[in-house]
Amino acid sequence: MVVAGGFGVGKTTLVGSVSEIDPLRTEALVTGESEGIDDLSAVPSKATTTVAMDFGRITLGEDLILYLFGTPGQKRFWFMWDDLCLGAIGAIVLVDTNRLDEAFSPLDYFEEKGLPFIVALNQFDSGPQYELEQVREALALAPHVPMMRIDARDRDSAKSALIRVTEYALERLAAQVPVS
């Protein structure tokens, strides 16, 4: 499963909140080297950034393990996304309502790849609270794309997003398989 989205939307937090293992994090300090390359104005207190991926794991059964891959959010690291999506069941695209414009590129990516995805609005305390249909319209999302609100810090909330994207991927798969 892939957890994607823009810089600072909560991908690392989501992977960490649901993983049964200490997640692998490839965090690096945000330094002056990124000035002029990365726009950090919306998240000025963020001191680290994912430079390759986050990795976590959830055991669902004796022989069934769900692997979680969090993508880097800064555009200069997006070349990693193709490798992280190989063999993925689906994706959660995390969205911050403070910065809806940063959701377009990740959404375009998964639409183009044909990978099932859901949109999860990460509930930041400081963010505007829009109705889901207002966000759907603003992001020009198709009616069939599932949307939900989550708190990436909360294990149960993050698990509900994983359950929903898995259900959606299975629905899409069932629709493609001819019934005899």
pTM check: above 0.85:
no
User: According to the model, what pLDDT value does residue 153 have?
Assistant: 94
pLDDT score at 36: 54
The pLDDT score that the predictor gives to residue 63 is 86
Domain spanning 2-171 has what CATH number? 3.40.50.300
Write down the pLDDT at residue 141: 96
Closest CA to 20 of 56, 50, 72: 56
pLDDT at 48: 57
With CA atoms as reference, report the closest residue to 66 among 88, 93, 94: 88
CA 150 to chain centre: 11
pLDDT of residue 49: 58
User: Structure tokens of 118?
Assistant: 């859901």
Q: What pLDDT was estimated at residue 54?
A: 87
**CB 108, CB 5: distance < 8 Å:** no
Give the three-class secondary structure for 121: strand
Q: Report the alpha-carbon distance of residue 63 to residue 138 in Å, rounded.
A: 41
CA atoms within 13 A on the CB side of 63: 0
User: Rounded to whole angstroms, how far apart are CA atoms 142 and 82?
Assistant: 23
Per-residue pLDDT of the chain (180 residues; tens, 9 = 90+): 999 998 888 899 999 999 998 876 666 655 565 555 555 555 555 555 555 568 899 998 888 888 999 988 677 667 778 888 899 999 999 999 888 998 999 999 999 999 999 999 998 777 788 999 999 999 999 999 999 999 999 999 999 999 999 999 999 988 886 766
CA distance 16 to 160: 15
Q: Is the dihedral of CA 161, 145, 61, 14 positive or negative?
A: negative
